Chains A and B, each alone.
Chain A
Amino acid sequence: MSTSAREQYGQRTMSFLPFIPASAVLRWRRQRPTTPGRPFRPRLGLALVALLLVLAAGCPTARRGGDAGPNGTTGQRTVIRFWNGFTGPDGKTMEALVRQFQKENPDVAVEMQIIPWGTYYDKVTLALAYGGAPDLFVVHAARLPEFASFDTLQPLDSLYASSEPPVEADDFAPVPWKASFYQGRKLALPLDVHPIGLYYNTRLFEEAGIVGPDGKAAPPKTWEQFLEAAQKITKDTDGDGRTDQWGFVFTFQRTNYLTFLYQFGGSLVTPDGKRSAMDSPESLAAAQRMRDLIYKYKVAPKPEGVDAWLAFRQGKVGMALEGIYMLASLEEQKGLPYAGAPAPQFGPKRAVWGGSHLLCQPKGIAPRQSEAAWRLMRYLSDHSLTWAAGGQVPTRVSIRQSPAFARLTVPYQFGTQVDWVQYEPLTPRSNSLFQFADPAVEAVLLDLDTPENAMRDASRRINQLLSRP
Chain B
Amino acid sequence: MKENPLTPLPPSRGGNGVPATDSATGRREAALVPASGTPFPRREGGRGVRGPWNDNLTGWLFALPHLILFTVFLLVPVVYGFYISLHRWHILTKIQPFVGFANYQAALADDIFWLALRNTLYFVVLVVPLGNLVSLLLALGLANVKRFSTIYKVSYYLPVVISIAVVAVLWRWLYNTQVGLLNLYLKAAVDGLRGLGLPLAGFEPIPWLANPSWVMPSIALMSIWWGAGGNMVLYLAGLGAIPDDYYEAARIDGANGWQQFRAITWPLLRPTVLFCLVISVLGSFQIFGQSYVLFAPGSGPARSGLTLALYMYLQGFNQYEIGYGAAIAYLLFAIVLVLTAVQFRLFSKREDYTPR
Determine whether the beta carbon of A305 is less than 8 Å from that of B88.
no
Q: Does A51 contact B (CB under 8 A)?
A: yes
Q: Does B101 contact A (CB under 8 A)?
A: no
Known: A39-B18, A147-B92. A306 touches B178 (CB 8 A): yes
Determine the distance from Cα of A59 to Cα of B233 in the docked complex, in whole angstroms: 35
Known: A307-B176, A435-B297. A48 touches B92 (CB 8 A): no
Determine whether the beta carbon of A6 is less than 8 Å from that of B302.
no
Q: Does A102 contact B (CB under 8 A)?
A: no
Determine whether the beta carbon of A304 is less than 8 Å from that of B210.
yes
Among B68, B90, B314, contact of A52 (Cβ-Cβ < 8 Å): B68
Chain A, Cβ-Cβ closest to B112? A461
Determine the distance from Cα of A44 to Cα of B177 in the docked complex, in whole angstroms: 61
Q: Does A61 contact B (CB under 8 A)?
A: no
- B292 → chain A closest CB, angstroms: 11
Contacts of B302 in A (CB 8 A): 439, 442-443, 446, 448
- B315 → chain A closest CB, angstroms: 9
**Secondary structure class of chain A's binding surface, majority of residues:** helix
Determine whether the beta carbon of A305 is less than 8 Å from that of B298.
no
Determine the distance from Cα of A3 to Cα of B96 in the docked complex, in whole angstroms: 11
Tally of contacts, chain A with chain B, CB under 8 A: 91
Determine whether the beta carbon of A37 is less than 8 Å from that of B19.
yes
Determine whether the beta carbon of B88 is less than 8 Å from that of A469.
yes
Q: Does B271 contact A (CB under 8 A)?
A: no
Among A36, A47, A438, contact of B298 (Cβ-Cβ < 8 Å): A438
Within 8 A of A (CB), among B155-201: 175-180
Within 8 A of A (CB), among B88-115: 88, 90-94, 96
Q: Mark B303-322, 1 if CB is under 8 A from A, else 0.
A: 10000000000100111100
Contacts of A36 in B (CB 8 A): 17
Determine the distance from Cα of A469 to Cα of B95 in the docked complex, in whole angstroms: 13
Known: A306-B178, A448-B301. A128 touches B92 (CB 8 A): yes
- A120 → chain B closest CB, angstroms: 12
Q: Does A46 contact B (CB under 8 A)?
A: no
Q: Does A243 contact B (CB under 8 A)?
A: no
Determine whether the beta carbon of A305 is less than 8 Å from that of B319.
no
Q: Does B70 contact A (CB under 8 A)?
A: no
Q: Does B212 contact A (CB under 8 A)?
A: yes
Contacts of A129 in B (CB 8 A): 91-92
Contacts of A1 in B (CB 8 A): 96
Determine whether the beta carbon of A305 is less than 8 Å from that of B314.
no
Among B76, B80, B211, B318, contact of A435 (Cβ-Cβ < 8 Å): B318
Q: Does A225 contact B (CB under 8 A)?
A: no
Determine the distance from Cα of A438 to Cα of B210 in the docked complex, in whole angstroms: 15
Within 8 A of B (CB), among A303-330: 303-307, 311
Contacts of B319 in A (CB 8 A): 431-432, 435
Q: Does B72 contact A (CB under 8 A)?
A: yes
Q: Does B224 contact A (CB under 8 A)?
A: no
Contacts of A126 in B (CB 8 A): 91
- A149 → chain B closest CB, angstroms: 9
Q: Does A55 contact B (CB under 8 A)?
A: yes
Known: A305-B208, A448-B301. A48 touches B94 (CB 8 A): no
Q: Does A164 contact B (CB under 8 A)?
A: no
A-B contact pairs, 9 of them (CB 8 A): A1-B96, A20-B72, A48-B64, A150-B92, A150-B93, A307-B179, A431-B319, A443-B301, A448-B301
A residues at B contact (CB < 8 Å): 1, 3, 6, 17, 19-20, 36-37, 39-40, 44, 47-48, 51-52, 55, 122, 125-126, 128-129, 147, 150-152, 303-307, 311, 431-432, 434-435, 438-439, 442-443, 446, 448, 469
